[in-house]
Chains A and B, each alone.
Chain A
């Protein structure tokens, strides 16, 4: 397995948007499918910057989907387009088979957005009650506050809340209308570990009711713990789409640094090795330079090296940060010789 083989539940997510769009558009009018979200060839340009690039996505009812990507990958832009708050430069979006801006669609959609604050002079309970009244069906104020873990703060003014409490209020407002589809844009960004735990428990409860949930994160562990499908995007493109297990196998989850007598090419050919490169500052002329290996199975790799009697020195094994993992995913597809440069 090499860096270029990306497991995908759909046909080649990164390829030609125009083909996908053309195929998807006439299909919309015909036989209805149970897909909650159908986005085809979504592109968003800001001047020269392409924030989202020919992104196609179909999400079925009851799916819990994580949009995983580093900062600036286009996660928020994608969510805002799916919400109808931003108009795509190209591409089509159907949510519940209709325009995302249609009132009937909005009645079934809840969203937790970044950088949106309720009026500071309202209390938490009042803000929740206000937003409930925007929807045709809604949960009770108590119920919402309990789910968002805000019962104790119910009479506090919105302006007095901490960052984490604000975030919980955002969640409360998102679920107020008992939505069938929930968008959560970086929902746990301001939460501590305990609050995160409670938060995901609530989201799981909603999912158990058959609600569809799409959340963005740059935390692989979070996507892994909650989603049954992970869509990895970088530079506005889908670079991987699959179950968390498939994604973890694709994204080299560990970085192994070592000095060994086995050469880099031979290392790269070993099973489970995603990528091998010289450590920063090392020279190719060096007989045994420090190597940096990306792999999802460091134990197997090391067992093999030790088993074959190779020398292994200065060994460290660490979690690959997601940025690096993405660089290898995207970079390998574009230019296998120099992933770092091609991705930047």
Chain B
């Protein structure tokens, strides 16, 4: 940082900064920071680092879908459905979908609740940081972890299970799964803002397993008791599953896999989007409630 540029912002730039009453009293050591994108990048860096250092997160969220695939997906690899799709590929889709939902609940739900509980979010509000940067960094960070889950599960399927993947279908599936990470982020945020920080973790654990079963991620829906199977079509995660299977395999194979697809792709998209928007509104209301509570 040269003396010349400092003088520049201490006088001209600093004075132009404002309509305020007194001029800035910058230290000679102060430097101009890169702005909103720099804030976002720093937030993302911190997000990735702090998540990667929590073993519960890396193992519980990233590794579990890969381990489950190895245990339950691999033995079925090589079995081919009538339309030519390998069951190993179907299970790749199922386990990845499960991974996406658990990622959303733990990153956006439990993680945010924790930072909220520690007073860190309150502290952030006392800075000029735009709060969207916090949420966007969470979403982008979780996309990176989602990519890790998909890469890991795919590698087990492709190398250990010798599962053949259709390139185009695989790309579609990855796209749907990534979009799902964003779509279910609001569900997590709502959880974080509507429950006490300590309760959020328990609720997260309580919710995501039944949700995964009811959505058919662990075994096909036609193996579920009929009553439970009837609940499924009212869950956004069920429709998400339908989209994922629809991306990896033709309708004929989805049916043969036992996922009993009902309704069109558009219906599924509408359901997932409705979940995104609905939980988003709920999260927003919770966030506003937090603000007004803190303001009390």
Q: Using a CB–CB distance below 8 Å, which chain A residues touch chain B?
A: 32-36, 46, 61, 83-87, 96-98, 103-109, 111, 113, 115-119, 121-122, 126-127, 129-140, 143, 157, 173, 177-178, 180, 209-211
Q: Which of B24, B39, B292 has the most CB of A within 10 A?
A: B24
* A32-B21, A96-B20, A180-B25 given; A83·B50 CB < 8 A: no
Residues of B111-149 whose CB lies within 8 A of A: 115, 118-120, 122-130
Q: Beyond A136-B35, A138-B30, A139-B30, is A86–B295 a contact (Cβ under 8 Å)?
A: yes
Task: Report chain A residues within 8 Å CB of B32.
Answer: 136-137
> Which residues on the B side are within 8 Å of A157 (C-beta)?
53
For window 24-63 of B, CB contacts with A under 8 Å fall at 24-27, 29-35, 38-39, 41-43, 45-46, 49-51, 53-54
CB neighbours of A35 from chain B (8 A):
21
Q: Is the CB of A116 within 8 A of B49?
A: no
Contacting B128 at CB < 8 Å: which of A107, A117, A139, A209? Answer: A107
B residues near A178, Cβ cutoff 8 Å: 26-27, 29-30
A139 touches B25 (CB 8 A): no
A108 with B24: CB separation less than 8 A:
yes
B: interface residue count bin: 35 or more
A85-B295, A107-B128, A119-B50 known; A113+B119 contact, CB < 8 A: yes
A126 to B46, Cβ gap below 8 A? yes
Quick one: given A117-B120, A118-B120, are A97 and B53 in contact (CB under 8 Å)? no
Q: A33-B21, A109-B126, A137-B32 are in contact. List 6 more A-B contacts (CB 8 A).
A: A104-B128, A117-B120, A118-B120, A121-B50, A135-B33, A137-B30
Evaluate contact between A116 and B53: CB separation under 8 angstroms.
no
The distance from the CB of A29 to the nearest CB of chain B, in whole angstroms, is 13
B226 at the interface (CB under 8 A from A): no
| A315 to B205 Cα, complex, angstroms | 67
Q: Is B296 at the interface (CB under 8 A from chain A)?
A: yes
* B54: A residues at CB distance < 8 A: 121
Contacts of A117 in B (CB 8 A): 118-120
- Min Cβ gap A39→B in Å is 15
| B294 contacts partner chain A, Cβ-Cβ < 8 Å | yes
Which residue in chain B gives the minimum CB-CB distance to A34?
B22
Q: Check A137 against B46 for contact (C-beta < 8 Å).
A: no
| Cβ-defined contact, A133 with B22, below 8 A | no
| Contact A83–B126 (Cβ < 8 Å) | yes
Within the assembled complex, what's the spacing in Å between the Cα atoms of A33 and B21? 7
Bound complex: CA A118 to CA B17 (Å): 30
Contact B25 A85 (CB under 8 A): no
Residues of B within 8 A of A133 (CB): 33-34, 38-39, 41-43
Residue of A nearest to B46 (CB): A130
Most B C-beta atoms less than 10 A away, residue of A33, A98, A113, A137: A137
Q: By the criterion CB–CB under 8 Å, are B126 and A115 in contact?
A: no
The 8 closest A-B pairs by CB, nearest first: A133-B42, A116-B119, A134-B129, A106-B128, A116-B123, A97-B21, A87-B295, A121-B50
B261–chain A nearest beta-carbon distance, Å: 42
Query: Inside 8 A of A211's CB, which chain B residues have their CB?
Result: 25
Contact A104 B25 (CB under 8 A): no
Chain A residues whose C-beta falls within 8 Å of the C-beta of B125 in the assembled complex: 85
A187 to B36, CA, bound (A): 30
List of A residues within 8 angstroms of B18 by Cβ:
104
- Give CA–CA (A265, B43) in the complex, Å: 67
Q: B29 touching A130 by the CB < 8 A rule?
A: no
